[in-house]
Amino acid sequence: MKKILEFIDLESGRLRKTHDNYPDEEKRALARMVKLSEEVGELADEVLSFNSMQRDEKQANHNSDSLSEEVADVLIVTLLLAKTLGVDVEKALEKKIEKINKRYEK
């Protein structure tokens, strides 16, 4: 997780340099939320292909790497969005996992 979050810090800095048209955090968060929606759509496309539910032309573009690549895109953009919103992802995950686990203790 540490290595992934280091990459997110690095990538966030690189994106700030290449996409400096979002000077404030509010616009940056909204832009990343829109980007996340785009990536979720791409993942949905891959899931349909994985289940052979696409028309032939779309099905042809699918390969074993493209599904895992889209899963990674969704995770990376989610982490970039969390960084923009100041969410401590490690703490958030620990707290949520604990909450989920408690559901099964009853």
Contacts to Mg ion by CB under 5 A:
39, 42, 73
Considering beta carbons, is residue 72 or 92 the nearer one to Mg ion? 72
**Residue facing Mg ion at closest CB distance:** 73
> Minimal distance in Å, beta carbon 93 to Mg ion?
22
3-state secondary structure of 22: coil
Angle in degrees, CA 52, 58, 62, rounded to 5: 65
Considering beta carbons, is residue 7 or 92 the nearer one to Mg ion? 7
Considering beta carbons, is residue 49 or 73 the nearer one to Mg ion? 73
Note whether 65 and 57 are within 8 A (CB).
no
Considering beta carbons, is residue 29 or 73 the nearer one to Mg ion? 73
Q: Which two tokens stand for residue 27?
A: 């616009």
> Minimal distance in Å, beta carbon 55 to Mg ion?
20
Note whether 39 and 80 are within 8 A (CB).
no
> Minimal distance in Å, beta carbon 48 to Mg ion?
14
Closest CA to 33 of 69, 96, 84: 84
> Minimal distance in Å, beta carbon 46 to Mg ion?
9
